[in-house]
Amino acid sequence: MRLKRIPLAVAAGAVAALALASCSPGGPSTPSSSGSASGSASSSGSAAPEQAAQIDGSGKLDLKDIQTQDGELKVSVGSTEFGGYNTLTPATYDTYSSSISALYGSGFFYFGTDGKVIPNTTLGTAEVVTDNPLQIKYTINKDAVWSDGTPITVADAVLAWGSQNASLLGADGKTPVFNNVSGDLVQLVPKGPEGDVSGKEFTVTYKEPNLDWKLQTFMAQPAHVVAKQAGMSIEDLVAALRAQDKDKLAKAGAFWSTGWNKGAGQLPAADLNVSSGPYILDSWQKGQSVTLVPNPKYWGPKAGVSKLTFRFVDSGAMVQALQNKDLDVMSPQPTLDTLKQLEALGASVKIIKGDTMTWEHVDFNFAGTSVFKDDVNLRKAFAMCIPREQIVEQLIKPLNPEAKVLNSRVSFPGDELYDRVVKDAYPAADYDKVNVEGAKKLVDESSAKKTNGKVTVRIGYNAPNPRRANEVQLIKASCDQAGFDVKDISAEGFSAEGGPVTKNDYDAFLFAWAGSGQLTSDSNIYMTGMPQNYGKYSNAEVDKQLTITKTTMDLTKHGDALLGAEKQLWTDMFSVPIFQHPGIDAAGSDVTNVIHTNTQDGITWNADQWQRVAK
């Protein structure tokens, strides 16, 4: 699936871009291998090798002829409700939902544990035909079928491509025909996948060079399902997609956008609930859990267990649930208290620690009711009073003693670009240390509305989140001294459809981007009008520089353009980066193949391989 960035409701090569991934809100940092790669157990009870090798060093385990165990494994990655079958809409594209949908979807590539992009040869192959123009040939596995037995073909690739066009608007001239979180693939590949509709081979030709061609989504939802729901033949649907005919695609787009997702607890009808991955959705209890079972038509390696359940558990309750065997694997907010609780459980659990590519930040709102939207100096004043060093010292260093304040939006410490950003783009003198007096002066000079001499700032995050609650308390204690009155307006659905973020009815948003090895994802966040530019920021220079990052294969030019964008983002005070997230996951000692990854895919990145230890 397309790998890019998303907002997280919880703590979530070469020149690095702080990017997001496929199903899910950097570039490679130092690889981490804290997780155990122990062997699996088959359903017959015979033990697999003690140490299974990982593909290409960081990919999935090579488990040979694994057999599905009869039994259930229960995992929680947070308390956030599943978004629905289609997790590629702006309202459902988050790491929580993506951790589930990744198990019933297939892509041509996936991220290894260190951010390396690894071919998924189970679905098929992709190879460069020519460099100029950049042309790629895809070959779908001859045995690849959807869970209803329908062959996976070029038609599915055309749907994946054709649904990614933010410029294709409906009758009102405002709403995209396909409400896809990704909106630029049609522009990148104007002709789309070329090949026989019912065949297994297609080629794509890029308009410009593209460093991230491996990460583009050319497989997602089933075209035969969309065609049927739109009252079209597959051939007519493909023709309309290739022509980008908004009128002929109206019904198809409406179903794609809303037809699969009917609300919490409501799975699609059986004929709509199809899978191209090792698992398929089986049940959904609103507010409680989603359960998957093996896809009987999957042509690849067998699913690890006969039932895999994602439970919606608050981070604060996960350790107790693990101890009580109500969970087998957990991915909590990494806090010192959680770590101590896990350590107290001794040998009954495996603690899985490592660095992550997820980074925390405060983003400003440039639209709607925001007090910051037309006042760059007020944004700078707020940035000056955010106690970033104190936040890191009190909340992060107890988990990672080496943690430091993050001063870049486009690279991580350890990347070559990071040092250039800090030297040439980051205004260290203004933001290295808290400057209450300097901030107060800017607040006093601002024409923003004041109540009792103070400017009210509404800051929010997706609640509950104890660490972010602590962050806001520290921000308030500091910034209230500078003439602000910080109000915590967090809510469970703060960034969900209909919430403050989608209505632009807030001033600042505290969340994280989860990273991967993608190099060009910044454009989807910082460029004008892009789907993940939630605060409606717009700057011509940023648009220019990030366009370069998307249209060059030269890593030096790519890095220079990111640096140029970063300079402007600091000048405009788009956001305030704070820290890189530490990662702490855990599993019961009787569960094997649970392995740490530093990408946004999280602990469930290879959940299809989890099993019980053979007794």
pLDDT digits (tens, 9 = 90+) for 552-563: 888 899 999 999
Give the range among 48-52, 59-63, 405-409, 544-548 with minimum mean pLDDT: 48-52
Instruction: For residue 177, tell me if it sits in a domain.
Output: yes
**Residue 25: is its pLDDT beyond 50?**
no
pLDDT of residue 515: 66
Going by pLDDT thresholds of 50, 70 and 90, the confidence category of residue 27 is very low
Q: What is the pLDDT of residue 358?
A: 85
Which residue has better confidence, 59 or 519?
59
11 pLDDT higher than 90: no
Other C-beta atoms closer than 10 Å to the C-beta of 412 total 24
| pLDDT for res 124 | 98
What CATH number is attached to the domain comprising 154?
3.90.76.10
**pLDDT tens digits, 459-480:** 999 998 889 999 999 999 999 9
Helix (H, G, I), strand (E, B) or coil at 578: strand
Q: Rounded to an integer, what distance in angstroms lies between the CA atom of residue 163 and that of residue 241?
A: 8
pLDDT of amino acid 173: 94
Distance CA 461, CA 468 (A): 7
* 203, β-bridge pairs: 137, 194
Each residue's pLDDT tens digit, 368-417? 999 999 999 999 999 999 999 999 999 999 888 889 999 999 988 877 88
Token pair for 499: 């919430």
3-state secondary structure 425-494: CCCHHHHCCCCHHHHHHHHHHCCCCCECCEEEEEEECECCCHHHHHHHHHHHHHHHHHCEEEEECCECCC
Give the structural domain span for 235: 124-218+222-259
pLDDT tens-digit readout, 262-278: 999 999 999 999 999 99
The SS3 of residue 513 is strand
Is residue 281 situated within a structural domain? no
Report residue 613 as tokens.
């230890």
Is 465 contained in some domain?
yes
Number of helices (H) and strands (E) in the chain: give both, helices first. Answer: 18, 17
Residue 106 lies in a domain: no
Phi, psi for residue 32 in degrees, rounded to 5: -120, 140
Amino acid at 43: S
Question: What confidence score (pLDDT) does residue 22 get?
Answer: 28
Same-domain check for residues 373 and 247: no
**Mean of pLDDT values over 283-310:** 98
Would you mind telling me the total number of residues written for the chain in this entry?
Answer: 615
* pLDDT of 455 strictly over 50: yes
Q: What is the DSSP-derived secondary structure letter of residue 194? A: B
Tell me the C-alpha to C-alpha distance, in Å, between residue 216 and each of 199, 205, 258, 319, 530: 20, 12, 23, 37, 16
In this structure, what CATH number is given to the domain that contains residue 472? 3.10.105.10
- Clarify whether residues 398 and 542 are in a common domain: yes
CB 565 within 8 A of CB 305: no
Range name among 273-287, 306-320, 353-367, 378-392 with the lowest pLDDT average: 353-367
Residue 347 lies in a domain: no
Average pLDDT of the chain is: 89
- Read off the tokens for 324: 């009580």
* 438 and 566 co-located in one domain: yes
Helices (H), 324-415: 336-344, 376-385, 388-391
Q: DSSP code of 553?
A: -
**41 pLDDT tier (thresholds 50, 70, 90):** very low
Q: Is residue 345 part of a domain?
A: no
Residue 35 pLDDT exceeds 90? no
User: Which DSSP state fits 152?
Assistant: P
How many domains does the structure of the chain reveal? 2
Domain end position, chosen among 208, 231, 259: 259
- Give the Cα separation of 504 and 234 in Å (integer): 39
pLDDT at 466: 86
Give the residue from 259, 281, 314 where a domain finishes: 259
Q: Is the pLDDT of residue 15 over 60?
A: no
Lowest mean pLDDT among 2-6, 183-187, 428-432: 2-6
State the Cα–Cα distance between residues 14 and 598, nearest whole angstrom: 16
**Which of 307, 267, 306 is CA-nearest to residue 283?**
267
Q: What is the pLDDT of residue 109?
A: 95
Residues 253 and 380 in one domain: no
**Tokens in use for 38?**
């122990």
**pLDDT above 70 covers what percent of the chain?**
91
CA distance 319 to 219: 37
Domain-terminating residue out of 240, 259, 278: 259
Q: Are residues 403 and 543 in the same domain?
A: yes
| pLDDT tier, 445 (very low <50, low <70, confident <90, very high otherwise) | very high
The whole-model pTM stands at 0.75
**pLDDT tens, position by position, 206-247:** 998 888 899 899 999 999 999 999 999 999 999 999 999 999
Lowest mean pLDDT among 48-62, 329-343, 378-392, 422-436: 48-62
- In this prediction, residue 116 carries a pLDDT of 87
For residues 405 and 527, membership in a common domain is answered with yes
Partners of 457 in beta bridges: 486
Residue 297 in any domain: the answer is no
Q: Which helix (H) or strand (E) holds 237?
A: helix 234-243
477-535: per-residue pLDDT in tens? 999 999 999 999 999 989 988 999 999 999 999 999 876 667 777 888 999 998 889 99
Q: How many CB atoms are located within 10 Å of the residue 70 CB?
A: 10
Position 74 in a domain:
no
